[in-house]
Amino acid sequence: MAWVRTILFRVVFYGGSVPIVGTVPITALFGQRAIIAHAAVWTGFHRWATRTLLGIHIRIEGERPVEPAFYVCKHQAMFETVELQIILHGPAIVLKRELTKVPIWGWAAKRYGAIVADRDANAAALRSMMREATVAREAGRSILIFPEGTRVAPGDRPPLKAGFAGLYRMLGMPTVPIACDSARVWPRHGAKRAGVVTFRFGDVIPPGLPRAEIEARVHAAINILD
């Protein structure tokens, strides 16, 4: 049954995504606000498909600040990258450069306000990432990063990538760590399973902490569900 659900989800979600993503160039004529609203249609479709076809629901624990914040989340599956766009009301997300090269989708992501991160970042790439993050902050948007840099298996606790500490220092925003356990139902390989994904919001961390302290506090908080 899990494989039947998974195949049905792939057919419906990816098939339905084609016209939604494909019409973004039209929406882009009306500016970034229109693109953010358009993206909400796609993320809403994803939520409907995961709940209806896969039987995956979410549980949210902890409080979120009212003002824009710098959100730092555990990364185990594609699920949280889409679901958090709804939960956090359209934050600017830090994406690896490879994703921005996906036809149409990558173009749309950049106009949505995605912040491009380069795994082999040189000084120029880091400066570009900082500029894009500053634009998002000044527009009043929250910023979302997955500081491990890639999806990890349950129980894996890799160190945080250097880009996180740089953004934390530059943005000067309240920082909120998020733990999640999506891989329990959304494994990297194999069929997806019905169940509940927990998002646990940690205590707000103020700006201005030394690098070692902010990295230690965030690392502990995002791994609390493992």
Place of tokens 């139902």: 185
Dump pLDDT digits (tens) for 175-220.
999 999 999 999 988 999 999 999 999 999 999 999 999 999 999 9
Which pLDDT belongs to residue 70?
Answer: 97
Domain segments of the chain: what residues? Answer: 56-222
Tokens read off for 136:
């998002």
Closest CA to 2 of 144, 202, 205, 191: 191
Q: In the sheet that 115-117 helps form, which strands lie side by side, from edge to edge?
A: 56-61, 195-201, 175-180, 70-73, 143-145, 92-96, 115-117
Say if CB 180 and CB 225 are below 8 A apart.
yes
Say if CB 121 and CB 129 are below 8 A apart.
yes
Rounded average pLDDT over 99-114: 83
pTM: 0.92
Report the alpha-carbon distance of residue 168 to residue 146 in Å, rounded. Answer: 13
Beta bridge partners of 117: 96
Please state, as a whole number, how many other Cβ atoms lie within 10 Å of the Cβ of residue 187.
15
Q: Is 89 helix (H, G, I), strand (E, B) or coil?
A: coil
Q: Is 70 helix (H, G, I), strand (E, B) or coil?
A: strand
Q: What single-letter amino acid sits at 8? A: L
Report the alpha-carbon distance of residue 51 to residue 117 in Å, rounded. Answer: 31
Tokens read off for 7:
């195949």
Rounded average pLDDT over 83-101: 90
Confidence of residue 226 (pLDDT cuts 50, 70, 90): confident
Tokens read off for 114:
């995605």
Dump pLDDT digits (tens) for 146-156.
999 889 999 89
Dump pLDDT digits (tens) for 9-65.
999 999 999 999 899 889 988 888 899 999 999 999 999 999 999 999 999 999 989
The residues near 144 (Cβ < 8 Å, ≥ 6 apart) are 71, 72, 73, 84, 88, 91, 92, 93, 94
Torsion, Cα 183 13 54 91, to 10 degrees, reads: 50
Tokens read off for 17:
């995504």
Output Rg (C-alpha) for the chain, integer angstroms.
17
